[in-house]
Amino acid sequence: MEHASLVAELTSRWPEHRVGPGLSRIAALMDLLGNPERATPVIQVAGTNGKGSTCIMIDALLRSAGLRTGRFASPHLSDARERICIDGQPLSEARFAEAWQEVEPFVRMVDEQQLDGIAMTFFEVITGMAYAAFADTPVDVAVVEVGLGGRWDATSVADPQVAVVTPVGADHTHILGDSLEKIAAEKAGIIKPGATVVLSGQEPAAARVLLAQAVEAGDVVRAEGPDFGVLERRPAVGGQVIRIESAGGPLGDLFLPLHGAHMARNAALAVAAVEAFLGGQPLAPEIIEEGFASVVAPARLELARTSPAIVIDTAHNPQAAQATIDACQEAFAFQPLIGVVAMMADKDTSGVLEIFASAMDQVVVTRAQGTPRALPAEELARAAEDFWPAGKVHQAPAMPDALELATLLADAAGPGTGVLVAGSLIAAGQARDLLVAEQ
């Protein structure tokens, strides 16, 4: 089967933005496959923002320490193969197809049972493919990014050796709950007996829930602030130089090829997670330096083109939007800044647009293609007009048109102008496909 046809078949299942009830289907698949989720230690990462970049950095540090890694990520930017990586590289099309062929008969068996009333979802199937591929390789450790929430996320069929929680904020409230406590309770589902829990700095309401779960599980907790964190940071060409507190004490002059205070915090969190995995042993400075130097995080304030400068980011909720704007202003100092924004209909549109409007002189709104969740450009434009002056909101039917219009606006505005594409991970992937040449 051609790769595109295979991906189309897989994604035609129950979509991942809807959570299928329970873990019964993924657990049944794992039992039929011989429980590959138990074949290798797991570092599981939940949270509202920063999961993907934290997983990328954990993976890089583990490989720098000489371990063979598997990494499961979601969603993908351009190709479903990005979700299953071995030693930092996505599966080849051939290996991806093999992974599906290995699990397909067992997926069909689970489908026939209609557990909790539905067949296996796309996310459950690709999670199963990942755990099977990691066991078959085999890898020394699997770094697993939660898709949505934590308690009923398919990745939680495994019991992690290290449970990491990035900052918890308001997102997916229609699924996870309408308060920080409810959302944190869902994320806390990854905290199970026998794990070491590594927590980034949290709002008090979320921290109380996460710590209570860790206490109930009898787990050791390492928390940002008392146990690790960023001591200093300064911008640098292509990233920043950071000084962090680690298990071995303060470490300084570490170059991180990512922008923003939020990425520095994610880096400190990644170091703490790897040190927890290694039983609390400090990582050698040279391992951290090598690991950070190898980090590649697509669409995280990625400079995709120059003249005019176009930066792509995945920010899609207010918490992430503010971090992105702060980092963009610090790293690039564009004057003026023109936005290209597309969003999903189930997001906090007004909250995100208000933050973008504080820094973007003009905005081109468009619609991400290929998903019914995408907010129509006309609706997004009406919402944007509440935050930008008359004449500063422009519409484009699709991402190619939006990038073309933003480029014309940037050229007209003169030197120093930059373009920031943000608002949706799907839209960021589509922009990246158009702007970034295949490596």
Average pLDDT, integer, range 232-258: 97
Read off the tokens for 436: 């970034």
Q: What is the pLDDT of residue 148?
A: 87
Q: What is the pLDDT of residue 22?
A: 87
364-391 pLDDT, tens per residue? 999 999 899 999 999 999 999 999 999 9
- Residue 77 CA to residue 437 CA, distance in Å, equals 14
Sign of the torsion formed by the C-alpha atoms of 170, 302, 198 and 355 = negative
Average pLDDT, integer, range 317-334: 96
With cut-offs at 50, 70 and 90, classify the pLDDT of residue 21: confident
The DSSP line for 367-417 is --SS-TTBPPHHHHHHHHTTTS-TT-EEE-SSHHHHHHHHHHHHHHH-TT-
19 has a pLDDT exceeding 80: no
Q: What is the pLDDT of residue 237?
A: 94
Tell me which of 18-32, 85-99, 136-150, 274-288 is least confident: 18-32
Residues 6+ apart with CB under 8 A from 356: 321, 325, 339, 341, 363, 387, 422, 423
- Residue 57 CA to residue 69 CA, distance in Å, equals 12
Q: Where are the alpha helices (DSSP H) in 198-317?
A: 204-217, 261-277, 285-293
Q: What is the pLDDT of residue 172?
A: 54
Read off the tokens for 165: 């929680």
173 has a pLDDT exceeding 90: no
Residue 398 contacts residue 366 (beta carbons within 8 Å): yes
- Residue 70 CA to residue 159 CA, distance in Å, equals 16
Q: What is the pLDDT of residue 439?
A: 37
119-162 pLDDT, tens per residue? 999 999 999 999 999 999 999 999 999 998 899 999 999 999 99
**What value does the mean pLDDT of the chain take?**
95
Read off the tokens for 145: 């990014």
Residue 288 backbone phi and psi in degrees, to 5: -65, -45
Q: What is the pLDDT of residue 149?
A: 85
33 has a pLDDT exceeding 70: yes
Q: What is the pLDDT of residue 15?
A: 82
16 has a pLDDT exceeding 90: no
Q: What is the pLDDT of residue 139?
A: 98
388-416 pLDDT, tens per residue? 999 999 999 999 999 999 999 999 999 99
